[in-house]
Amino acid sequence: MLEVTGIETFYGKARVLNGLGLTVGAGQVVALLGRNGAGKTTTMKSIMQLVPPRAGRVVFDGADITGWPPHRVAQAGLGYVPEERRIFTQLTVAENLEVGRQKARPGRVAWTEAQLFELFPNLAERRGNRGKALSGGEQQMLTIARTLMGNPALVLLDEPSEGIAPVIVEQMAQAILTLKAEGLTVLISEQNLHFARAVADSVVIIEHGEARFSGTLADLDARPDIRDAYLSV
């Protein structure tokens, strides 16, 4: 469903991705792992074309989207949830969701507010509260829910478990598994191997802007040398 090949991405003259490649199959949850600064966020921004790669290709659902403007990438069915929570603090939870609403692409069923509240029960209780009244974890959930209102086929989640309370992390993992059960494809970036283990079918480990390992968690468990070399444990 998503095929990234040999991408090179720069900030000014600094090359941050060095020929990175990865594949995400339809309906899979893949975790992008790596230390701080390894290039996980840049990989997501490159896929979205927010920071377009200068070399390599990004193919989504059979279309080469390399160089497309980001809004077209979103219309093609890619949803992006950045690490920093992006909600409207003065709008209520329900209004935030409304802002994210897009028509579903042909042949797909649109998410309803009720389904999203089922996915994130905390938000249901907060329906009429303003964004600024929510906890960090609830804001993270709202950011994801708002992205889902755009009815993406694949969601990119940048460090969804970062800086949120353990009980909410648990709910987040549950929600990701529900998305997978609904047929969505998910690419998450994580530093937390434990979280990746709870949700991912396979992992890609990146270091210095290159994919150094890809395989299932069982494959990774069989390679403690890889884990010790590229992940902070």
Amino acid type, 227? R
Buried/exposed 31-45: b ≥16 CB within 10 Å, e otherwise: bbbbeeebbbbbbbb
Subset of residues 5 to 24 that bind ligand ATP, contact rule: CB under 6 A: 11, 14, 16
Question: In the complex with ligand ATP, which residue's Cβ is closer, 97 or 204?
Answer: 204
From the list 36-44, 61-69, 95-103, 106-114, the region that binds ligand ATP by CB under 6 A is 36-44
Matching residue, tokens 């209520």: 92
| 37 makes contact with ligand ATP (CB under 6 A) | yes
> Looking at 37-45, 100-108, 143-151, 178-186, which segment touches ligand ATP (CB under 6 A)?
37-45
Q: Are 205 and 30 in contact (CB under 8 A)?
A: no
CA distance 59 to 47: 9
Interface pick for ligand ATP out of 5, 18, 41, 115 (rule CB under 6 A): 41
Among 7, 24, 29, 40, binds ligand ATP (CB under 6 A): 40
Cβ neighbours for 11, distance < 8 A, ≥ 6 positions apart = 42, 51
Residue 40 or 146: the one with the smaller Cβ distance to ligand ATP is: 40
Number of residues that bind ligand ATP (CB under 6 A): 11
Give CA–CA dist 215/134, Å, rounded: 37
**Residue numbers of the site for ligand ATP (CB under 6 A)?**
11, 14, 16, 34, 36-42
